[in-house]
Every structure is written in C-alpha cells, then in structure tokens.
Amino acid sequence: MMMAQPLAAGIQLLDETSQKNIAKAVELSVGQFDVSNKRTNLFKVNTITSGLVLVLYDGVAGIGGVAYMMLPDSDYIEGEDANPADDHGKPAKFANKAVSLVWEKMENMGAKPANTVARLIGGSQLFTFGGGGGNPLNLGSRNAIACRTLLSRLGIIVDKTEVGGNRPRNIIFSLLKGDCLVSIRGGREFLL
C-alpha cells in the first residue's frame, strides 16, 4: 500500500555488496517485524513518521531484526486485548509486544544480548503550539521510552537514536556490516 520513494543517492554510503542487493530488500510496513541471519539480506522501511522503528543487530552472529511499531503499550488501550489473536496482521503494533517478538526470534537464531546493539528511528511529530504540560501527540518519545525500558530488561543497549523532528524518514538496514542508512525526506542522508 505504501508508495515507493525513489532510492536516494545515500545508498552509496552502503558497502558495494549491499548496494547490489538493494532491490531485494524486504520492505516492512507499520505493525510488522522480521529477522534474518543472512548477511546478504537487507530490510527497508519507508515514510516513517510518528511510528518508531527498532533495528537490532548482533554483529558477532550476523543476526538482525527490525520492528515497526506505532504505540507504546497495548494495556493502555481500552479493549485492545479483548481478542489478542486478532492483531489485524500487525503483531508489532505495540512496543510492549514488538520488542519481545523480534528478540525471541533473534535469540532462537543464536543472538546474544551482550553482542546486540539497538537503534531507534522515527517519532516525528506535528506542531502543537502553546499547549504546555507535555505533548499528547508526541508518540515518538513515548514509544522510545517504552522500547528503552524493555530492551534494558533484556540487557540490550540502545546504541543510537534518530528520533523526533517533523520530517518523514526512510531506512535501509543491511545485515552485512549492520549499517543502517537513514534518509530524511528532503533532507540529509547518513549511516546511523
């Protein structure tokens, strides 16, 4: 459903093998997660706005995982858990479920917390002028706090974050070296 965005010039920041494999990158939409232990694999997520993407990478085992979540806590939403089986195809919608889902799969493949780093990308927000007393639209920081808490319980360190602002972001995550290319729409591109 999400429309493709043109690949940015920033792909040159990735290694040559990853550049060659870029057409085969697996695209995730909101609420989805995926893991892989193939170093030639890549994941991509386009037009991340208020949602938050967690990128996990165990560089020793070459195992990577990505989860694209939108909300911090399913327990906070009234009636959300009335029918837990019905996740509308979006198992990673909530941070409190996404983190354990993606980590369990990585752990089963042999990933270790001590070798794993986490990166967080997303959480752009609308302007709310005045208001005061905290911004109810600032989902990104609430998601990031939820993620950090859950990851610290697993013993995983959040290495880098690219969270906030008002722009959409695209990412491409390569398992070869664990590089994560961030493209801010209409703005700069860099490896996080």
**Segment interacting with other proteins, rule: CB under 8 A, options 20-28, 32-40, 111-119, 121-129:** 121-129
Q: 38 or 167, CB closer to other proteins?
A: 167
Distance in Å, CB of 110 to other proteins, minimum = 33
Q: Is 174 in the site for other proteins (CB under 8 A)?
A: no
- Exposure of 143 by Cβ count < 10 A (0-12 exposed, 13-18 middle, 19+ buried)? buried
Near other proteins by CB under 8 A: residue from 40, 108, 128, 152: 128
| 31 within 8 A of 92, measured Cβ to Cβ | yes
Near other proteins by CB under 8 A: residue from 9, 23, 166, 188: 166
Query: What would the two tokens of residue 84 be?
Result: 């837990």
Q: Can you tell me the distance from the alpha carbon of 31 to that of 54, in angstroms, rounded to the nearest whole number?
A: 12
Near other proteins by CB under 8 A: residue from 185, 189, 191, 192: 185
| 182 within 8 A of 14, measured Cβ to Cβ | no
184 forms beta bridges with: 169
**Among 3, 88, 14, 101, which residue's Cα sits nearest to residue 46?**
3
Near other proteins by CB under 8 A: residue from 137, 149, 155, 157: 137
Binding site for other proteins (CB under 8 A): 1-6, 30-31, 47-51, 70-72, 76-78, 80, 88, 90, 93, 124-129, 131, 134, 136-137, 139, 142, 165-168, 185-186
